[in-house]
């Protein structure tokens, strides 16, 4: 028995790297895997994979998330932006800018920490499912406060664990848009393997699966005025209800999954898988 759970979810890695691990499959990005990835570099070019922080624009795509808001920083009664220092310190030639930003962390491109999504699961082995996150960390005790009390912040499983680990390794690009275009199609195991076969794609343990669906380009083309209905009905998504796909993700040893769409899988779907409903 570990300190936080007796049962672990099917296909999970709870306990594989110790009872208190907070990095999950980031542990697979070993020095050996990073070195092997560097050896594959041919051209040395760099690419930005992030959308601008103020896209998609507005809150039509997700009503609970809003664009970043700039707020002023003050020096006394003066706004500290294009601030001319000799206003209060004669002869000082400096001009300074500072600002505060209110940022919805899930609004634009972002990494999800291991406490972004949890599940109700009988981790205690008493027959009663309770809310848990990776490795049995609990809401209230480790993440935020009790439901509804408004207390925020993660005392475990925060995104700082990814920053400290550093996300460096081999990325494997899968161009789903080349095969499926703008059609909204759920990609299960069979379809994904068909793409792999056609494109000669091989995935190794520790790889970062990078999915290009075209959804991000569609966001960019809308120029900050998104058509939410069109977006929610466009471009490929993974079929999170396909048990064969879930098992492949487990067996493949992927370190992370990256996508240019809203949630990798169909965030508006509903169904049963591996003994649960989502």
What's the pLDDT tens digit per position in 62-79?
A: 999 999 999 999 999 999
Half-sphere exposure of 224 (CA within 13 A, CB side): 6
Task: Report yes or no: 255 and 208 within 8 Å, Cβ to Cβ.
Answer: yes
Q: Which of 208, 206, 232, 237 is nearest to 219 (CA)?
A: 232
Taking 50 as the pLDDT cut, the residues of the chain under it are: 1
- Quick check: pTM over 0.85? yes
pLDDT digits (tens, 9 = 90+) for 19-54: 999 999 999 999 999 999 999 999 999 989 999 999
Structure tokens at 68: 């970043």
Task: Report yes or no: 258 and 208 within 8 Å, Cβ to Cβ.
Answer: yes
């Amino acid at each position: 028995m570990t300190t936080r759970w007796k049962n672990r979810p099917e296909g999970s890695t709870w306990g594989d790297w110790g009872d208190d691990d907070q990095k999950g499959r980031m542990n697979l990005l070993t020095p050996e895997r990073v070195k092997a990835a560097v050896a594959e570099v041919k051209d040395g070019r760099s690419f930005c994979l992030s959308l601008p922080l103020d896209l998609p624009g507005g809150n039509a795509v997700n009503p609970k998330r809003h664009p970043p808001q700039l707020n002023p920083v003050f020096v006394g009664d003066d706004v500290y932006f294009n601030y001319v220092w000799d206003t209060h310190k004669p002869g000082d030639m400096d001009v300074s800018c500072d600002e505060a930003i209110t940022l919805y962390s899930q609004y634009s491109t972002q990494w999800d920490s291991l406490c972004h999504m949890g599940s109700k699961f009988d981790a205690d082995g008493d027959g009663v499912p309770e809310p848990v996150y990776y490795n049995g960390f609990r809401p209230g005790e480790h993440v935020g406060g009790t439901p509804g009390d408004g207390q925020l912040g993660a005392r475990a499983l925060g995104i700082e664990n990814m920053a400290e680990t550093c996300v460096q390794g081999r990325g494997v690009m899968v161009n789903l848009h080349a095969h499926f275009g703008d059609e909204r199609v759920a990609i299960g195991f069979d379809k994904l393997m068909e793409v792999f076969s056609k494109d000669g794609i091989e995935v190794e343990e520790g790889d970062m699966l990078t999915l290009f669906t075209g959804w991000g380009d569609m966001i960019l083309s809308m120029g900050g005025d998104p058509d939410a209905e069109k977006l929610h009905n466009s471009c490929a998504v993974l079929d999170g209800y396909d048990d064969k796909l879930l098992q492949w993700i487990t067996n493949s040893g992927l370190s992370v999954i990256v996508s240019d769409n809203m949630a990798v899988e169909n965030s508006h779907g509903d169904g049963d898988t591996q003994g649960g409903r989502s």
